Each structure stands twice: as C-alpha cells, then as structure tokens.
Amino acid sequence: MIEELPGTSVSAVARRLVSMRQESGVAALGRVLTLVIAATGSLDEAVVEAANDASNEHPMRVIVLLTRPEGAPRLDAEIRVGADAGASEVVVLRAYGDVCTGVESLVSGLLLPDAPVVVWWPGDAPERPGSDPLGRIAQRRITDSASITDAAEQARRIDAYTPGDTDLAWTRLTRWREHLAAMLDQPPFDAVTSVDVVGKAGSMSTQLLAAWLQLALERPTVCRLPDENQLAEGVRSVTLSRASGDAVLERVSGSRTLLRQPGHPTHEIALPRRTLSECLAEELRRLDEDVMYRRVLERLSRIRAAQEALGNRTSEWSTDHD
C-alpha cells in the first residue's frame, strides 16, 4: 500500500502512519531500528529496494529524506507499508525551501521509540558525518566512497572518521578478506615477505584492502591503481609473496576469481560482486564501533601521510619507505 501526502507535516505523517498500520494489519512490533536514508535530488528506487531487501534480515522503519533547498517551503510525503515495503515500513519525505534547514526535526518525530538509528548517505555525504545534524542522532553512519577517486578528497574522508562511521567500500571487501585469510591457513605455511595489491584507478576499496594486509602482516606492501587493463570496479588482484613462491588471488570476471599457489592446481573461486542489499544488511548487523575499520583507516592515514612527505600525492603507494 502506497499513500501520497502532499503539503503535509511531520505530525500528520506520524498519525497517518499509525492508522495505515492498523488498517492494513501491519504491526510495528519487532522493528529493531530506524534507517534514515539522506539524499538529494530525485528518489533512487534501487536504494529503497536495497533497504527493503535488508529489512528481511533487519525489520525496520525506513525514512528517505530528499532535500531541495530551492523553491517555496513545502513538505510532501509518501508512506509505503505491506508488500510495497518488504519487512519494513517506508516513509519518503520531500522537503523544499526553508523546510530543509532543520533536517533533524523532520525525522525525529518519525523515529521508532527506544530503537537505534542508522543514517545512510548512498550518494554525496557530509564532509564529517559524525558532526552532521543527522549523524549526531545516529549510532551508525554509513557512507559510500566508491565514486571518490580524488586522493585529496579520500584523505579528507579518512581523517573525518568518528566512532560509529563505516563505508561500503570497506564492506565490499569482506569476501576478499575471508579468502585471503583462508589462503594463509593452508600449506605451505611460509611467512609472507611482501604484498602487492592491484585495483581500479582511484579505488578506495583497493587501498583499504592493502592497508588491512599491511596492518595484519606488517610486511612491505604495494598498492597499485593503474588505469589500463582494469575490470569495471574495485580490487583486481592480491599477490602474497613467500619463499616457496607467490600466492595470487585474481579476479577474472564479475563473479569469478582464480587462486594460484605453488605446488597446487589453479582453483576457480566464485566471488561475485556484492550487491547493495548484501552490503547494507551486513552493516546493519552491528551497531557498535567497527574497531578493525578504525585501525585500518589509521594505518592508511599514516601510510598516505608518509607518502605525501616523500612528494607522492597520488592514491598509489608503497610501504617500502614507510
């Protein structure tokens, strides 16, 4: 069920939401959190669909806030419950003009009582999410730096971290980290002497993976982000050099990777690119600080600062001189 409420108020939306639940027989009980999706411009249905899919694992209330500072002050709303909202209930708020100046007041009247709040910026995010008006009311703040390729902007995003922040560029690495950890649990058990990580030019995920490996192994690590011969997104390959030879995990398509190790046949591993729904669902499983993510950001920040001191202001780096 979808109902439009043009020219409305937050209190009217809250009252209508309660009555629609009663009319449709949808209960608010069992909702475990409120997800606020902060966006600008038009509504991206793929983002709402991802939230609906994630709600099958995390029943929640979803508030989509679209702000357009231009125009006369006005608040339009759309409420979705039942089959149109998965296991959640979705409220779409479109704020215009001066109504956009108090965004936290637009959502505070619709938050579930005594339930955690997560804010997700699927597109452009504030420079410091933890200091943003919406970010201050949230236990977790989700951004996505996949589209940020400028080294200076990436550095600002890294330095802006506050406890509770996370980024889908990190979430997309979960399967890579699992497979790499499993590689080191298999014979031969030689120590890793160096690491080489290759990814798409400017890829934040590639840099985070390289920093994670450098943090875990404390070995010289190279992060290479060439423009040529790259797959569409993210990480392309990881090479762990050992005395017995190189172990290589390399993506050859959007869903397949090859694992090559000395003395072993080449193995094909299914490693499909993670969907937006999968990444969001994973991030909603925890509402405390992701300590490992913080430590990786700290390591990456130190590495990049050392490289900049050497005159390297690109995203590519090596810890040979760190």
In a domain, 205, yes or no: yes
In a domain, 59, yes or no: yes
pLDDT computed for residue 63 by the predictor: 96
Residues 174, 292: contact at Cβ < 8 Å?
Answer: no
Q: CA–CA separation, 115 vs 156, rounded Å?
A: 31
Tally of domains within the chain = 2
Domain identity same for 123 and 174: no
pLDDT at 41 over 80: no
Please write down the HEC assignment for all residues of the chain: CEEEECCCCHHHHHHHHHHHHHHHCCCCCCCCEEEEEEEECCCCHHHHHHHHHHCCCCCEEEEEEEEECCCCCEEEEEEECHHHHCCCEEEEEEEEHHHHHHHHHHHHCCCCCCCCEEEECCCCCCCCHHHCCCHHHCCEEEECCCCCCCHHHHHHHHHCCCCCEEEHHHHCCHHHHHHHHHHHCCCCCCCEEEEEEEECCCCHHHHHHHHHHHHHHCCCEEEECCCCCCCCCCEEEEEEEECCEEEEEEECCCCEEEEECCCCCCEEEECCCCCHHHHHHHHCCCCCCCHHHHHHHHHHHHHHHHHHHCCCCCCCEEHHHC
Q: CA–CA separation, 197 vs 195, rounded Å?
A: 7
Query: Of 17-31, 77-91, 116-130, 199-213, which gets the smallest average pLDDT?
Result: 17-31
Domain identity same for 227 and 315: yes
Domain identity same for 129 and 231: no
The residue range of the domain holding 139 is: 2-143
Q: What is the pLDDT of residues 51-65, one digit of tens each?
A: 999 999 989 999 999
In a domain, 164, yes or no: no
Query: Of 39-48, 76-85, 224-233, 286-295, which gets the smallest average pLDDT?
Result: 224-233
pLDDT computed for residue 31 by the predictor: 80
In a domain, 148, yes or no: no
Domain identity same for 244 and 312: yes
Q: What is the mean pLDDT of residues 16-20?
A: 85
Domain identity same for 187 and 291: yes
Domain identity same for 33 and 133: yes
- Tokens of residue 57, six digits: 């694992």
Q: CA–CA separation, 129 vs 113, rounded Å?
A: 23
Query: Of 19-33, 128-142, 306-320, which gets the smallest average pLDDT?
Result: 19-33
pLDDT at 23 over 80: no
pLDDT at 84 over 70: no
Residues 97, 70: contact at Cβ < 8 Å?
Answer: yes
Of the ranges 113-117, 209-213, 316-320, the best mean pLDDT one: 209-213
Q: Which residue has the higher pLDDT, 165 or 40?
A: 165
pLDDT at 227 over 80: no
Q: What is the mean pLDDT of residues 171-178?
A: 97
Question: Which residues are within 8 A (CB) of 298 and not within 5 positions of it... i.e. 6 or more apart?
Answer: none
Domain identity same for 181 and 301: yes
In a domain, 279, yes or no: yes
Q: What is the pLDDT of residues 254-285, one digit of tens each?
A: 899 999 998 889 999 999 999 999 999 999 99
**Which residue among 143, 160, 194 closes a domain?**
143
**Which residue among 126, 143, 160 closes a domain?**
143
Q: What is the mean pLDDT of residues 139-145?
A: 96
In a domain, 219, yes or no: yes
pLDDT computed for residue 306 by the predictor: 93
pLDDT at 9 over 70: yes
**Which residue among 109, 143, 177 closes a domain?**
143
Q: CA–CA separation, 312 vs 200, rounded Å?
A: 18
Domain identity same for 316 and 174: yes
In a domain, 161, yes or no: no
Domain identity same for 195 and 112: no
Domain identity same for 309 and 183: yes
Q: Which residue has the higher pLDDT, 284 or 30?
A: 284
pLDDT computed for residue 188 by the predictor: 80
Q: What is the pLDDT of residues 94-117, one digit of tens each?
A: 999 999 888 999 999 999 989 999
What CATH number has the domain bearing residue 281? 3.30.360
H or E segment and range at residue 134: none
Mean pLDDT of the residues in the chain: 91
Domain identity same for 115 and 218: no
pLDDT computed for residue 322 by the predictor: 45
Domain identity same for 46 and 181: no
In a domain, 227, yes or no: yes
